[in-house]
């Protein structure tokens, strides 16, 4: 029997590594995985460096580790089973039934068998979620309260600590002039990471534009993400000590050039298994209990990890494969090239896309209200934007991006989103400082220099009236559409067409 740790399951504190201390460990580094999409080089460096560090640490502790660097997983499994005939591999249960069947067949083809154990990267088990969800009415707020009660996190005698389930009303502030967030931690590459960087550059650079969605992640900044548990724990310490207190109030704010704000930057470590959700939640709650962070910040962070992350994982598990292809609005536009090359005059999109190109990251409100919002009102076909997020972000996996992008961002399926998160320049202007430095006019809807978000927003409502007017959460906006004359609507449609032509020509 062998413990097979897949690259995004580097869990040290529990699970098969702890339960089977005498068994050897298998890791497979498959190059074909890295060729599936035009992945950001930092994403590949993160994954492969974390795997190699994990291997070295286990070996230093005296554990037997078989580490195969092969072209495909099939090759790695075949090499393993050839050396260990009839072996049983114990591995974490994949997210979906189809992924489980695929792994079973891969191992069987190689001549071995596989046994699945619970995925330790999450708090809520599949059976727990299924019991809560019943036949499939997903409401995040209800799930989150269920999880608070189940775990007892931020609960006192059956009630939420502080008397409220959330403190969103305190968490929509914009920072005062002159505010700067604490410098985010940066983890210098060691020799192992340097070797991976060189290998990734030599192996994958130059092949990006040969891939289906093109893409050029040229000149990223130096690699900065934690690749070991020790580093991940330091990142957690840094967040709780320096960033958590201001995380809440500014969690929806955006500032030009401030990519990190006070966000936790822990998603890469959580999604690789270097940190557990329970430990990051408990550290944040401890900070509240010792008066070093306010409740609105701590509750906002707990909701991200205990609520949203767990919720999406299970919706994905239950709604795949249909969710990946969902497109209830029939959006069919190609993803504009500026998502890849950053070549746009729009100040908000330019800054956020540049950040993704430089470091494979932007925070959640930039993802939802700038990148996905623009894609939604522009009418981008959901699978294209999903692939872009999946390829470009260091913390992205298919289970992360598909519900976030296809459903939450683009309102593709309506399985949990109760409305499309569409907005004009108003939202960006309210929550950021982008508009003041933008060549587009935030208050203009049509005519030269009008902000593209404005015409696209009204055009989006107009185009999707049959689906959206009856939705009580957005239907009110149709009273504003109704107040527009036919001539105004015609100008809006014309401007929306012009914007799409400019985007296609690389002139937006
Ligand atoms: Fe973005 Fe429009 Fe504001 Fe420019 S004016 S920053 S394009 S929302």
Q: What is the chain's pLDDT, residue by residue, as a tens digit (508 residues)?
A: 999 999 999 998 888 888 898 999 999 999 988 888 888 889 999 999 999 999 999 999 999 999 999 999 899 999 998 888 888 999 999 989 999 999 999 999 888 899 999 888 899 999 999 999 988 779 999 999 999 999 999 999 999 999 999 998 898 888 888 899 999 999 999 999 999 998 988 887 655 553 333 445 556 788 999 999 999 999 999 999 999 999 999 999 899 989 999 999 999 999 999 999 999 999 999 999 999 999 999 999 999 999 999 999 999 999 999 999 999 999 999 999 999 888 999 999 999 998 998 889 999 999 999 999 999 999 999 999 999 999 999 999 999 999 999 999 999 998 999 999 999 999 999 999 999 999 999 999 999 999 999 999 999 999 999 999 988 888 788 989 999 999 999 999 999 999 999 999 999 9
Task: Pull the structure tokens for residue 449.
Answer: 């220099």
Our mutation pick for probing the ligand 1 site, out of 342, 351, 436, 438, counting the most ligand atoms within 8 A of Cβ, is 438
Q: Within 10 Å of residue 403's Cβ, how many Cβ atoms?
A: 30
Closest residue by CA, ligand 1 atom 2: 451
CA distance 473 to 492: 23
Cβ atoms 232, 185 nearer than 8 A: no
Q: How far is the CA of 464 from the centre of ligand 1 (A)?
A: 23
CA 504 remoteness from chain centre: 26
Q: Going by CATH, does the domain composed of 126-187+224-319 fall within 1.25.40.80? A: yes
Q: Going by CATH, does the domain composed of 2-117 fall within 3.40.50.10490? A: no
Would you call the peptide bond into 321 cis, given omega within 30 degrees of 0 as the criterion?
yes
Closest residue by CA, ligand 1 atom 5: 442
Q: What per-residue confidence (pLDDT) applies to 214?
A: 42
Our mutation pick for probing the ligand 1 site, out of 370, 426, 440, counting the most ligand atoms within 8 A of Cβ, is 440
Q: What per-residue confidence (pLDDT) applies to 238?
A: 96
Cβ of 438 closer than 6 Å to ligand 1, yes or no, is yes
Closest residue by CA, ligand 1 atom 8: 425
Task: Pull the structure tokens for residue 174.
Answer: 């914009």
Task: Pull the structure tokens for residue 475.
Answer: 């239907």
Task: Describe the crossing of helices 310-319 and 140-151 by its angle, rounded to 10 degrees.
Answer: 120
Q: Which helix (H) or strand (E) holds 32?
A: helix 31-34
Q: What per-residue confidence (pLDDT) applies to 158?
A: 92
Q: Which residues of 425-441 are buried (b: 16+ CB within 10 A; e: fewer)?
A: bebbbebbbbbeebebe
Per-residue DSSP letter, 472: T
CA distance 94 to 52: 21
Q: What per-residue confidence (pLDDT) applies to 285?
A: 97
Question: Which atom of ligand 1 is least distant from the CA of 424?
Answer: 8
Q: How far is CA 10 from CA 64, 95, 185, in A?
A: 16, 16, 21
Cβ of 450 closer than 6 Å to ligand 1, yes or no, is no
Task: Describe the crossing of helices 277-289 and 229-238 by its angle, rounded to 10 degrees.
Answer: 30
Give which of 335, 324, 305 is closest to 399, Cα–Cα.
324
Q: Which residues of 50-72 are buried (b: 16+ CB within 10 A; e: fewer)?
A: bbbbbbebbeeeebebbbbebee
Q: How far is the CA of 351 from the centre of ligand 1 (A)?
A: 11
Cβ of 451 closer than 6 Å to ligand 1, yes or no, is yes
Question: Which atom of ligand 1 is least distant from the CA of 453?
Answer: 2
Q: What per-residue confidence (pLDDT) applies to 206?
A: 55
Question: Which atom of ligand 1 is least distant from the CA of 438?
Answer: 4
Helix (H, G, I), strand (E, B) or coil at 393: coil
Task: Pull the structure tokens for residue 488.
Answer: 């105004």
Residue 321 contacts by C-beta under 8 Å, 6 or more apart in sequence? 96, 98
CA 31 remoteness from chain centre: 23
Q: What per-residue confidence (pLDDT) applies to 374?
A: 97
Q: What per-residue confidence (pLDDT) applies to 211?
A: 39
Cβ of 376 closer than 6 Å to ligand 1, yes or no, is no
CA 371 remoteness from chain centre: 12
Longest dimension (CA), the chain: 76
Cβ of 54 closer than 6 Å to ligand 1, yes or no, is no
CA distance 358 to 362: 10
CA distance 220 to 288: 36
Place of tokens 């209800």: 142
- Residue 2 dihedral angles phi and psi, to the nearest 5°: -135, 140
Residue 473 burial (CB < 10 Å; 0-12/13-18/19+)? exposed
Closest residue by CA, ligand 1 atom 7: 346
Q: How far is the CA of 374 from the centre of ligand 1 (A)?
A: 11
Residue 492 burial (CB < 10 Å; 0-12/13-18/19+)? buried
Cβ atoms 24, 48 nearer than 8 A: no
Q: Which residues of 345-370 are buried (b: 16+ CB within 10 A; e: fewer)?
A: ebbbbbbbbebbbbbbbbbebbbbbb
- Residue 388 dihedral angles phi and psi, to the nearest 5°: -65, -45
Q: What per-residue confidence (pLDDT) applies to 138?
A: 92
Residue 51 contacts by C-beta under 8 Å, 6 or more apart in sequence? 7, 10, 27, 29, 67
The sign one gets for the Cα dihedral 278, 280, 281, 282 is: positive
Cβ of 457 closer than 6 Å to ligand 1, yes or no, is no
Q: Which residues on neighbouring strands pair with residue 380, listed in sequence order? A: 333
CA distance 321 to 99: 10
- Residue 380 dihedral angles phi and psi, to the nearest 5°: -70, 140
Residue 485 contacts by C-beta under 8 Å, 6 or more apart in sequence? none
CATH topology of domain 338-504: DNA Cyclobutane Dipyrimidine Photolyase, subunit A; domain 3 (1.10.579)
The sign one gets for the Cα dihedral 146, 149, 154, 158 is: positive
Cβ of 348 closer than 6 Å to ligand 1, yes or no, is yes
Per-residue DSSP letter, 161: G
Closest residue by CA, ligand 1 atom 6: 435
CA distance 493 to 483: 16
- Enumerate the domain spans of the chain: 2-117, 126-187+224-319, 338-504
Q: How far is the CA of 444 from the centre of ligand 1 (A)?
A: 10
């Amino acid at each position: 029997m062998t413990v097979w740790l897949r690259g995004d399951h580097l869990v040290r504190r529990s699970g098969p590594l702890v339960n089977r201390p005498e068994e050897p460990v298998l890791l497979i580094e498959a190059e074909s995985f890295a060729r599936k999409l035009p992945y950001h080089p930092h994403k590949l460096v993160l994954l492969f460096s974390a795997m190699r560090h994990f291997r070295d640490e286990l070996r230093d502790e005296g554990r037997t580790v078989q580490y195969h660097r092969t072209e495909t997983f099939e090759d790695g499994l075949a090499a393993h089973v050839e050396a260990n005939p009839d072996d049983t591999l114990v591995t974490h249960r994949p997210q979906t039934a189809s992924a489980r069947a695929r792994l079973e067949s891969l191992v069987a083809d190689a001549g071995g068998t596989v046994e699945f154990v619970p995925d330790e990267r999450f708090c809520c088990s599949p059976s727990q979620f299924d019991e809560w969800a019943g036949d499939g009415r997903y409401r995040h707020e209800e799930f989150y309260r269920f999880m608070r009660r189940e775990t007892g996190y931020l609960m006192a005698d059956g009630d939420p600590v502080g008397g409220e389930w959330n403190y969103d009303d305190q968490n929509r502030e914009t920072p005062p002039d002159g505010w700067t967030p604490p410098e985010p931690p940066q983890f210098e590459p060691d020799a192992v990471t340097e070797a991976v960087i060189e290998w990734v550059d030599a192996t994958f650079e130059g092949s990006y534009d040969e891939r289906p969605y093109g893409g050029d992640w040229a000149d990223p900044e130096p690699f900065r993400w934690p690749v070991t548990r020790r580093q991940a724990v330091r990142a957690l310490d840094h967040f709780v000590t320096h960033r958590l207190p201001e995380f809440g109030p500014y969690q929806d704010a955006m500032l030009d050039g401030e990519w990190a704000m006070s966000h936790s930057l822990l998603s890469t470590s959580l999604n690789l298994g270097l940190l557990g959700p329970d430990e990051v939640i408990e550290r944040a709650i401890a900070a509240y209990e010792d008066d070093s962070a306010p409740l609105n910040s701590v509750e906002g962070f707990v909701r991200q990890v205990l609520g949203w992350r767990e919720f999406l994982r299970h919706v994905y598990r239950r709604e795949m494969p249909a969710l990946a292809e969902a497109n209830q609005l029939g959006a069919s536009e190609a993803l504009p090239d500026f998502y890849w090359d950053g070549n746009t005059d729009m100040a908000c999109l330019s800054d956020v896309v540049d950040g993704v190109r430089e470091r494979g990251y932007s925070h959640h409100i930039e993802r939802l209200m700038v990148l996905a919002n623009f894609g939604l009102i522009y009418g981008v076909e959901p699978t294209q934007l999903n692939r872009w997020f999946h390829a470009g972000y260091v913390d992205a996996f298919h289970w992360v991006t598909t519900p976030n992008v296809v459903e939450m961002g683009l309102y593709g399926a309506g399985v949990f989103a109760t409305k499309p998160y569409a907005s004009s320049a108003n939202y960006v202007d309210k929550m950021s400082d982008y508009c003041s430095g933008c060549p587009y006019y935030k208050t203009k809807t049509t005519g030269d220099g009008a902000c593209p978000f404005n015409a696209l927003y009204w055009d989006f409502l107009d185009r999707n009236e049959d689906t959206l007017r009856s939705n009580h959460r957005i239907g009110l906006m149709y009273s504003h559409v109704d107040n527009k004359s036919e001539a105004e609507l015609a100008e809006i449609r014309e401007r929306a067409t012009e914007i799409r032509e400019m985007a296609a020509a690389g002139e937006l």
